[in-house]
Structure 1
Amino acid sequence: MSNAEKIIEAARYHSEEIICPNVDQWESSLDYPIDAAKEAAKNGLLGLYCPKEFGGQGLSFAEGIPVFEELGRGEGLYAFSFSMHNIVTFAICSFGQEKLRDHWAPKLTSGKALGGFVLTEPQSGSDAARVRTHAVVNKNGSYTINGSKAWVSLADVADIFLVVVKTSEKPGKDDIAMVAVPKDTPGLSFGKPYDKLVSSFLPIADMFLENVTVPAENVIFPPGKGLSGSLMAIDIARTSIAAGCCGLISSSLDLALTFARDRKMFGRSELEFQGIQWMLADVATDLEASRLLYKNAARLIGTPEGTVAAAHAKRFTPDAAQRAIATCMQVLGGTGLLTPSAIERNYRIAPVMKMVDGTTEIQRVVISRSLQKYAETLPTKEEQECN
């Protein structure tokens, strides 16, 4: 068994033995399950893309992103928090300066520390180039940051955050940078966690930065490279979310199949009725299509085709998940409405997956722009008619 296969098995075990038996308790306690995250770290789930010399697994994105399908079977937004952490760990291991990397990478891969990625602001959700949080670059290379961020996952729980900032007052993207800000940095604070539809244990809140100063070695991407680094992180996140949606679909399908197989009505199993069979066949097709999309995107991350591939996956799979889970709930009848239950929780998580890291509509914008560029390469109508 390859290392990638072992990590997938570890993710499956974590989902079945750690998430599923405890997720209802997590919801009621409102506390992020730090102990569960530490257990995940022991099995290599918090350093997927980081080199082994720093305690990571050294996996490619194609090898590592299927982990989030397994975790998504247990709880989709818990899986999402791990995807954010792994993006931070990857960025620090791959692009961080030596002092920062040597200090933080072993902590992040071992679960002694958690990481968060911070881009969104109140006035700039999907428009990453409109960042207003401002950093002054001091003479010694340190950054002093002022501003606010919104929708910060693992707010006040993560130990280090990668924060996207502007370094001048000029409009545009040429001055955007990304810096690492430890949670205990003076001037960094968080608002009250948002009240959300689901996954109340995952803190998401506003971040406030008031004269937050970090040293030069905390710069991950200097001015001019911060936006491209952020966009790559978004591609990874979108593909990971698509994988997590497959977990939502597959767990819901398993529940519906088991229920329909075991429930007897009109002298036979519910699963023997053609209407039920066709409903679940459509769910199975959506699951297969979603898997192909996210696995293709994972393979292409970092290439010129990666962004559009991630957009296709993020555009299709959350919609497919919402559609599939509703179908599975229908198969369960009234039982599907009972709480707490995995299928009811999946039904609440699926719409969130459509929103985070770029809405469904934003993915259509990305795809449409690629089509416009492609259209410019096509022969004219007259040339096509001649052919």
Structure 2
Amino acid sequence: MTQKRDAVLSTAHDHAMHVIRPNVDAWNAAKVWPRDASDKAGVAGLTGLYAPEEWGGQGLSLADGIQVYEQLGLGDGAYAFALSMHNICTYAACGYGTEAFKQGWARDLTAGRKLANFALTEPQSGSDPMQMYTRATVNGDGTWTISGAKAWVSLADEADIYFTVVKTSDAPGHKDMAMIAIPADAPGVSFGPRYDTPSYNFLPMSEMYLDQVVVSEDNIILPIGQGFQGSLMAIDIARVSIASGCCGLMQAALDTALSYSKNRKMFGGKNIDLDGIQWMLGEVATDLEASRLLYRKAAEALGTPEGPLMAAHAKRFVPDAAVKAANTCTQVLGGMGLLQPYGLDRLSRLAQMLRIVDGTTEISRVVIGRALKKRAANLPDLPVPKGFGETDANTVTVAAE
């Protein structure tokens, strides 16, 4: 499996260097998703990373497959993000979809001939999926009728199918949630105006509207009662995938700064010979190594009880490090770092975007904080030092002098 993973990583690196990086500025100028590029990714085997070989996938583990986005991130973080979401859907389709759905969709998804995306967030709920208003009614013939709206839908009006989380009643909580795959051409599916995202204009994002959309029961990916937990797992995979892509972004920024500073003459020498420049870039290099270790450990933990917490650690630390790296590398270039051909302004904006999508840095801190509270509850109480008094059984305060 290691040999196969390495071959896939090499293919992803070539895709980043020869397909993404030379063309990303033109994609942004055209404001159109580069379907020819994602078609090439499919031919190269990058759109079915975790899917079984019997359905045309690579059969990689999550821990191995997630490393692909570090390579793709060398070209562009938004492109890596879009393919990561497609691969999550493909993973869900092949692992949990009905036999009829797999027969109709699996091979087209793993081959990249058709694209998929995940739809959970709603305009009014953000990171709180409990506040979900999209409703699905189960009809007498087994079909589902769905109405509602989703926000921040990637590949909006570009993907061929959307794996959508819905509620099936008005009861509070998540026990009635399910996930169903909604084809883009189903009557009643429409999209709002594209969000204005200047650093990744080629990636369409908008709201998706569902008006009495009827979908076959064959398209149920996760049945009633499993939609919430399934969506949380998808988010954890997405968070670690984003951290992986951020490492590619950091490497791209660092390499740009190194390539510039090794030739830039200043104060009788080269910039790279200056201690201040070496220290700045050395800190980026250390953050990059730490980020790689963290996201890879988090990827190995996915699907275990430690998975959600490790995903939160990776999503909290790595995108922050990427923002810092992009800004530091821009500073190393000075005024030249502001020019579009060097790409650092684009990397800075992308890093900020990746801090926010699939759970902001602050949401990750909430997850980590809750874990710390649980750990604290299981630790022994500390003895009260002399000179301190207790106001109650749980509070220690300084005694009056």
Q: TM-score, normalised by structure 2?
A: 0.94
Q: Which amino acid aligns with 1:372?
A: K
The farther-off stretch of 65-74 and 137-146 is 137-146
Which residue of the partner structure matches residue 250 of structure 1?
A: 251
- The one-letter amino acid of 2:8's match is I
Distance 2:51 2:286 in 1: 34
Corresponding position of 2:28: 27
Query: Match for residue 81 of structure 2?
Result: 80
**Contact (CA 8 Å) 1:149, 1:207: kept in 2 or not?**
yes
Residue 108 of structure 1 pairs with residue 112 of structure 2: no
Aligned partner of 2:92 in structure 1 is 91
Contact 1:131 1:164 in 2 (8 A): no
For residue 58 of structure 2, what is the amino acid of its counterpart?
A: Q
Shift of 1:318: 0.9
Q: Distance in 2 between matches of 1:383 and 1:60?
A: 49
Q: Is residue 101–residue 219 contact of structure 2 (8 Å, CA) maintained in 1?
A: yes
Query: Matched residues in 1 for 2:339 and 2:376: separation?
Result: 50
Q: Which runs of 5+ in 2 are unaligned?
A: 387-401
- Check conservation: 1:242, 1:317, Cα contact below 8 A: yes
Q: What is the CA deviation profile of residues 297-356 of structure 1, one whole-angstrom value per residue up to 9, with x for unaligned ones? A: 110111100001000000011110111111111111111000143222101111101110
- SS of 1:21's partner is coil
Residue type of the partner of 1:240?
A: S
Distance in 1, Cα, partners of 2:103 & 2:309: 34
Say if 2:144 and 2:215, in contact at 8 Å, map to a contact too.
yes
Aligned residue number for residue 127 of structure 1 = 128
The aligned amino acid for 1:221 is L
- In structure 1, how many angstroms separate the alpha carbons of the residues matched to 2:232 and 2:44? 29
What residue in structure 2 maps to residue 195 of structure 1?
Answer: 196
Report the Cα distance in structure 2 between the residues aligned to 1:4 and 1:348, rounded to whole angstroms.
Answer: 30
After superposition, give the CA deviation of every residue in 1:25-79 in whole Å (9 maximum; x if it has no partner): 1011111000000101111100000001111000001101111011111111011
Alignment of 1:184-263 (within 5 A): 184-263=185-264
Write the letter of the residue equivalent to 2:206.
A
Over residues 91-145 of structure 1, what are the superposed CA-to-partner deviations in whole Å (9 max), with x where a residue is unaligned? 0000001000121110011111000100000111111222110001112322110
SS in structure 2 at match of 1:128: coil
Find the structure with the greater CA-based Rg. 2
For residue 384 of structure 1, report the CA deviation from its aligned partner. Answer: 12
| Rounded Cα–Cα distance in structure 2 between residues aligned with 1:330 and 1:186 | 51
Give the match for residue 311 of structure 2: 310
Residue 283 of structure 1 corresponds to which residue in structure 2?
284
Q: CA deviation at 1:260?
A: 1.0
Question: 1:31 is matched by which residue type in structure 2?
Answer: V
Q: What secondary structure, in the 3-state scheme, does the structure 2 residue paired with 1:129 have? A: coil
Give distance in 2, aligned partners of 1:112 and 1:383: 66
Match status 1:374 vs 2:385: no
- Aligned residue identity for 1:53: E
Aligned pair count reads 385
1:3 partnered with 2:4? yes
TM-score, normalised relative to structure 1:
0.97
Aligned-residue CA RMSD (Å): 1.3
2:51 corresponding residue in structure 1: 50
Matched letter for residue 305 of structure 1: E
8 A Cα contact 2:316 2:361, kept in partner = yes
Asked if structure 2 preserves the Cα contact closer than 8 Å seen for 1:68 and 1:243, the reply is: yes
Q: Distance in 2 between matches of 1:291 and 1:129?
A: 33
Aligned twin of 2:391: none
- Gaps of at least 5 residues in structure 1 are none
CA contact (8 A) 2:256 2:342 kept: no
Letter in 2 for 1:290: S
Q: Distance in 2 between matches of 1:110 and 1:154?
A: 17
SS in 2 for 1:139: coil
Residues 117, 161 of structure 1: 8 Å contact kept: yes
Partner residue, 1:171: 172
User: Identity of paired residues, percent?
Assistant: 54
Secondary structure of residue in 1 paired with 2:206 = strand
| Structure number with higher helix proportion | 1
Equivalent residues of 1:141, 1:216 under 8 A apart: yes
Give the SS at the match of 2:260. Answer: helix
Q: Which amino acid aligns with 2:352?
A: P
Given residue 357 of structure 2, which amino acid in structure 1 is its aligned partner?
V
1:12 lines up with 2:13 in the alignment: yes
